[in-house]
Structures are given as structure tokens and as C-alpha cells.
Amino acid sequence: MSLIERLEKYCLTPAMSGFEDEMIKKIKEDLKDYVDEIRVDVLGNVIATIKGTSPEGSDLMIFAHTDSLGMIVKGVEDNGFIRIERVGGVPERILAASNVILQTTSGKTINGVIGFVSHHLTPPEDKYIVKPIGECYVDIGATTAKEVEAAGVRIGTSVLYRPSFEHLINNRIAATSLDDRGGCAVLVELAQHFKKHRPKVTLHLVGTVQEEFNLRGAMVAAQQIRPTAAISIDLVAASDTPDIHGGNSVKVGSGPVVGTYTFHGRGTLNGLIPHPRLLSVIEDAAVTEKVALQRHATIGLLTDASYVQLVGEGVACVDVAWPTRYTHSGVEVCSLDDLEGLKKLLIGVVEKFPVEESFSRG
Ligand SMILES: [Zn+2]
């Protein structure tokens, strides 16, 4: 299976934060033949290990999150309309009149749409107003609360953008959940490569959980692995569309990206300034592998690497990414060339990883 085929398979797999089981099963199945050990912890982190040839060497964790953002049912009205709450950073601007699916505990998928006031009935003063999530509702075709219940939808049922995967020109893709199924697809590519070319460093390829929700699932994996260094693979928001001015200069199609600074102050209060030595390992690999590498420093964005760095005596961490437009919508757009570049970069990083390096500071 090629990178793009696996990416499509993963993007079409609904797996909201806390409901990652379908992705856990698929990524475990896809990794298991290429690694020495594989296990799934209680939270749902899939931890696959390829033992390095250097027995005294350090451990490197490379991880991508298996979950996606979504919504959750918080109530059902007598007339069958379903009220929802956000799970993760869902932009309310894109919700009205969008297609969704609801996943019942019995494994059934129910189609629905998020309602909006019919255009013909919208007063002019409301035309440009975005409704907060508390005013949004899902219509599954039910006319009573009983019908909703009979369909298997209850408080706590997960609601997701209807999965889609479309080819654009220039080897670009528009899909749901590129965040972070792109990273998951790259993880499997790395496993395939290092099955044939065993690295010096012991490599832990980890599919993490709950990134979009509380960012801390990966921490639990790192507590078990105790890696010296860890690399997060996730998308980064690109700023190359006509509506973004003064963004982070990241462009789709210009290659993978290394994070030099992320920070999120609203509530989360975390971020990542990469370990300087690990950052130089990434940049050196880009030179030797001849991969064009972009850099970004972005406020308002962070990944689960922010929490992995805080494990044990500290873990040297860095974010690597591929550029994506329209992040956290159902039509995220990226270039497959950037994902291929990211894979090439990471192969170079693992092959040349300084296995005796302690990553001590000062
Ligand atoms: Zn992500």
C-alpha cells in the first residue's frame, strides 16, 4: 500500500478523541509486521518498537496522533433535534449546513446535517452572523426524541465531519482529518523502511491518543518509553492563501517544516521551543537528504510534544510538520509532495541519529 492509499484509508476512518479504536486497530495491524514489539496501553497509545543495533544507545520516539477533533451529543430535544458540544478546536464558522456522522456505541454510523436558517428566511442583518455551538443542532431526520434514541444516539455519542478524501491538481489532497492521519501514514512508512534497514538507535513509533482534546495522551506513552528524544509529526497551518496576512510564512508545496516555537496561551498555556541539539539534527538531515525544509514560529498552535518534553528528567523534543491549509475544517488541503519530503527527512534523521548523544544542556 502506498503512502497516499494509506492516507486515504486513515482519513476515511472516523476516530474522534476518546473514540480512537478504529484507528488503533488499523494502525496496529499496519505496523505489526514491521516492528519487533507492539502494544497498546490503557489510554489507547499504540507503541511499536524497532530495536536498534547499538545496545548502549538512546531511545528515539517518533509519534503522530490517531484521534481527530469533533463534537459530542449533549442533549436531544423533544422534536428530535440534537444539541452538541465541541471536542477540540472546532471552528463554529464552518458548522452551519455541513454534513456530519454520528457514531453509536454499537458501531452504527448515522448520517446527519448541522441545520441553519434557510437562506430565504434569513433576515438581512443575520446574513454574516456565526452561531455559537450552543445554538447549533444536528438533524438526523428524526421527528421525536424517541426516534433519536431508537437510532442509538444518546448523550455522549460522537459527532464528526463526514469523512471525505478528494484529489486536487498538483498532487494535492482535500480531506477530513489530514490532522493527523498524514502523520499516522508517515509512521507506517518509517516502520516499513526500518524493517529492511535496521537503525542504530532504538526507534519507538507511537500512535498517540487525545491530542485534539487534552494534548496529554502522548505523555503517557513517553512515561513508559522514557525516550532521550522525541519527534512529533503533525501538520502546521500554512499562510499562503489570499485571506492571511502576516502569518507564519509556511507554504504548501515548499517542503516539510520544522517548528522553532509554538505557544498557546488561552487556557492551555503550553508550547514548545525545540531542544537546540535535536533541532540541529533535523536541520543537518535536511541538508544531507537534500530536502527543502521550511521553519515556522507560530502562536496559537501547539502539539502533544509540549507535554512529552515534560516527562521524567525531560525529553528533547521537536515538532516536524507538513504545511496544510484550512486546518480543523473538513476540507484540509495539503500536498503529497510535502508528506513524501517529510518521510525522506525523517528517514535521514533516524539513520544519522547521534545515538551516543546525551542531549545535556549548557
Ligand atoms: Zn494535529
**One domain, residues 82 and 43:** no
Confidence at residue 171, expressed as pLDDT on a 0 to 100 scale: 97
Q: Which of 211, 212, 332, 340 is catalytic?
A: 211
Q: What is the pLDDT of residues 172-192, one digit of tens each?
A: 999 999 999 999 999 999 999
What is the rounded CA–CA span in Å between residue 98 and residue 242? 23
Confidence at residue 266, expressed as pLDDT on a 0 to 100 scale: 78
Mean pLDDT of 27-50: 98
The answer as to whether 136 is a domain residue is: yes
Confidence at residue 213, expressed as pLDDT on a 0 to 100 scale: 95
Mean pLDDT of 26-30: 98
What is the rounded CA–CA span in Å between residue 149 and residue 145? 6
Residue 302 to residues 7, 70, 215, 240, 276: CA-CA distances in angstroms?
22, 18, 9, 20, 18
Cell of 359: 542531549
The answer as to whether 264 is a domain residue is: yes
CATH number of the domain encompassing residue 157: 2.40.30.40
Confidence at residue 199, expressed as pLDDT on a 0 to 100 scale: 96
Q: What is the mean pLDDT of the chain?
A: 96
Are 153 and 140 within 8 A, CB to CB? yes
Q: What is the pLDDT of residues 120-175, one digit of tens each?
A: 999 999 999 999 999 999 999 999 999 999 999 999 999 999 999 999 999 999 99
Query: Is the model's pLDDT at 104 over the cut of 90?
Result: yes
The alpha carbon of 328 and the centre of ligand 1 are apart by a number of angstroms equal to 9
Confidence at residue 20, expressed as pLDDT on a 0 to 100 scale: 97
Q: What is the pLDDT of residues 48-100, one digit of tens each?
A: 999 999 978 889 999 999 999 999 999 999 999 999 999 999 999 999 999 99
Report residue 311's pLDDT band, with 50, 70 and 90 as the boundaries. very high
The alpha carbon of 289 and the centre of ligand 1 are apart by a number of angstroms equal to 25
**One domain, residues 97 and 232:** no
Report residue 226's pLDDT band, with 50, 70 and 90 as the boundaries. very high
Mean pLDDT of 290-307: 95
What is the rounded CA–CA span in Å between residue 120 and residue 116? 11
**One domain, residues 77 and 201:** no
Q: Which amino acid is at 83?
A: R
Query: Is the model's pLDDT at 268 over the cut of 80?
Result: no
Mean pLDDT of 330-356: 97
Report residue 267's pLDDT band, with 50, 70 and 90 as the boundaries. confident
The alpha carbon of 232 and the centre of ligand 1 are apart by a number of angstroms equal to 10
127: Cβ contacts below 8 Å, ≥ 6 apart: none
**One domain, residues 214 and 265:** yes
Mean pLDDT of 97-118: 96
**One domain, residues 150 and 235:** no
**Other Cβ atoms closer than 10 A to 319:** 28
Active site residue 85: no
Q: Which amino acid is at 334?
A: C
Confidence at residue 57, expressed as pLDDT on a 0 to 100 scale: 80
**One domain, residues 22 and 51:** yes
What is the rounded CA–CA span in Å between residue 349 and residue 289? 9
User: How many domains are there within the chain?
Assistant: 2
Mean pLDDT of 335-340: 98
- Listed in sequence order, the DSSP H helices in the chain are 3-11, 21-31, 145-150, 178-196, 217-225, 276-288, 305-308, 336-351
Are 215 and 180 within 8 A, CB to CB? no
**One domain, residues 199 and 62:** yes
Residue closest to 257 by CA, chosen among 291, 281, 226: 291
Cell of 189: 512508512
Are 33 and 196 within 8 A, CB to CB? no
CATH number of the domain encompassing residue 18: 3.40.630.10
Among 161, 187, 209, the domain-final residue is 161
Report angle CA 142, 147, 148 to the nearest 5 degrees. Answer: 75
The alpha carbon of 307 and the centre of ligand 1 are apart by a number of angstroms equal to 14
Mean pLDDT of 192-209: 97
Confidence at residue 58, expressed as pLDDT on a 0 to 100 scale: 87
**One domain, residues 98 and 147:** yes
Query: Count H helices, E strands: the chain?
Result: 8, 18
Confidence at residue 246, expressed as pLDDT on a 0 to 100 scale: 87
What is the rounded CA–CA span in Å between residue 204 and residue 227? 8
The answer as to whether 360 is a domain residue is: no
Specify which of 108-112, 246-250, 263-267 reaches the highest per-range mean pLDDT: 108-112
Helix (H) / strand (E) element for 71: namely strand 70-76
Query: Is the model's pLDDT at 348 over the cut of 90?
Result: yes
Q: Which domain holds residue 96?
A: 70-161
Confidence at residue 328, expressed as pLDDT on a 0 to 100 scale: 97
**One domain, residues 217 and 287:** yes
Confidence at residue 265, expressed as pLDDT on a 0 to 100 scale: 83
Could you tell me what percent of the chain has a pLDDT over 90? Answer: 96
**Other Cβ atoms closer than 10 A to 336:** 19
Q: Could you report how far apart the first and last alpha carbons of the chain are, in Å?
A: 45
**One domain, residues 135 and 197:** no
Residue 50 to residues 37, 47, 62: CA-CA distances in angstroms?
7, 10, 11
Confidence at residue 274, expressed as pLDDT on a 0 to 100 scale: 97
The answer as to whether 167 is a domain residue is: no
Are 234 and 65 within 8 A, CB to CB? yes
The alpha carbon of 141 and the centre of ligand 1 are apart by a number of angstroms equal to 32
Confidence at residue 113, expressed as pLDDT on a 0 to 100 scale: 98
**One domain, residues 277 and 143:** no
The alpha carbon of 189 and the centre of ligand 1 are apart by a number of angstroms equal to 18
Mean pLDDT of 5-25: 98
Confidence at residue 236, expressed as pLDDT on a 0 to 100 scale: 97
